[in-house]
């Protein structure tokens, strides 16, 4: 159970321990959920529920699909919404790391992405938290690598914060696509393209794309026209907007973008060489 007397380190441990139970219960429910999907006829569709764990924490699970074409991509969000020292907070697990989201983060998300006035964003409280995770079930780190500080990305933009220990950290603010520096946008856009390719593969091949299956990706999947065609057929207006806005930023900063991408590739290659030599 979350208590006001807990330190941030204790919060992280509580959520990490609790998440194992939540994920286990979801995996058992998944076959039934897939049957529910097949019977669904009306879209857009938000499926959500709450799970109360043995540690008396209440988790919010959600899955959102704009159209029937998206239901084969089962990527739910697992969020623990709680009150900590009088303020609404949220916690989740991303790539094995617990991330804590204080209310300030969601105020910034409301202001910078949804264009909601600060006072309205504060009033939204836990509803704003739920909305963020419903819309951004794909939160991840670039190349799954932890940096000196938290630097992660989602469909709507970027989140920044500080690591507290080896198990997790606290996310302090949100940055929209248009507010990113060019090096940040380069990482974001590369991830956005990867997410599109992964979704194309999953919908068309009927299985998720793992690292061992990258050799089976058709060459056409890397073509911008193919991405546009796929997004149009999919009909998800938020992803279409993300792609259009990102392409516009790319065109306006193409030279700097390519320089940043070259540097990122060099860093990744150096990291790979070190792992091989080790």
Render pLDDT for 197-222 as a digit per residue (tens, 0 to 9): 888 888 887 778 776 677 778 888 88
Identify whether the C-beta of residue 153 lies closer than 8 Å to the C-beta of residue 139. yes
Put residue 232 in one of left, alpha, beta given phi > 0 → left and psi -120 to 50 → alpha. alpha
**pLDDT score at 273:** 60
Q: What is the pLDDT of residues 266-277, one digit of tens each?
A: 877 676 566 555
**pLDDT score at 220:** 83
The residue among 125 and 181 whose pLDDT is bigger is 181
Name the band, by pLDDT with cuts 50, 70 and 90, for residue 20. very high
Percent of the chain with pLDDT over 90: 61
Residues 6 or more apart whose CB falls under 8 angstroms from that of 21 comprise 53, 54, 55
Which residue from 96, 108, 76 is spatially nearest to 146, judged by alpha carbons? 96
Q: What is the pLDDT of residues 46-104, one digit of tens each?
A: 999 999 999 999 999 999 998 888 888 888 999 999 999 999 999 999 999 999 999 99
Distance CA 65, CA 43 (A): 7
| Average pLDDT over all residues of the chain | 88
When computed from its CA atoms, the radius of gyration of the chain, rounded to whole angstroms, is: 19
Is a pLDDT exceeding 80 seen at residue 162? yes
Name the band, by pLDDT with cuts 50, 70 and 90, for residue 18. very high
**pLDDT score at 125:** 64
Distance CA 150, CA 169 (A): 7
| Mean pLDDT score, 171-189 | 95
Domain edges within the chain: 8-177, 182-277
Is a pLDDT exceeding 60 seen at residue 122? no
Name the band, by pLDDT with cuts 50, 70 and 90, for residue 234. confident
**pLDDT score at 271:** 65
The CA-based diameter of the chain, rounded to the nearest angstrom, is: 55
């Amino acid at each position: 159970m979350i208590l006001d007397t807990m330190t941030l380190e204790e919060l992280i441990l509580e959520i990490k321990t609790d998440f194992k139970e939540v994920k286990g219960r979801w995996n058992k429910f998944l076959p039934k959920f897939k049957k529910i999907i097949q019977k669904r006829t009306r879209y857009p569709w938000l499926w959500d529920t709450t799970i109360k764990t043995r540690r008396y924490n209440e988790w919010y699970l959600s899955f959102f699909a704009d159209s029937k074409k998206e239901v084969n991509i089962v990527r739910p969000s697992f969020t623990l919404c709680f009150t900590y020292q009088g303020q609404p907070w949220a916690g989740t697990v991303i790539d094995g790391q617990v991330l804590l989201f204080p209310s300030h983060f969601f105020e910034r998300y409301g202001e910078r992405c949804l264009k909601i006035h600060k006072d309205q964003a504060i009033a939204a409280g836990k509803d704003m938290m739920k909305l963020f995770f419903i819309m951004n079930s794909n939160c991840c780190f670039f190349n799954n690598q932890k940096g000196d500080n938290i630097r992660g990305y989602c469909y709507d933009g970027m989140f920044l914060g500080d690591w507290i220990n080896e198990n997790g950290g606290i996310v302090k603010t949100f940055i929209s696509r248009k507010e990113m520096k060019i090096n940040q946008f380069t990482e974001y856009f590369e991830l956005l393209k990867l997410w599109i390719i992964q979704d194309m593969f999953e919908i068309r091949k009927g299985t998720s794309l793992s690292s061992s299956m990258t050799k089976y990706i058709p060459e056409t999947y890397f073509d911008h026209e193919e991405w546009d065609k796929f997004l149009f057929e999919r009909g998800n207006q938020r992803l279409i907007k993300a792609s259009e806005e990102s392409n516009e930023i790319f065109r306006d900063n193409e030279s700097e973008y390519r320089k940043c991408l070259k540097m990122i590739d060099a860093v990744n290659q150096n990291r790979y060489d070190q792992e091989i030599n080790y």
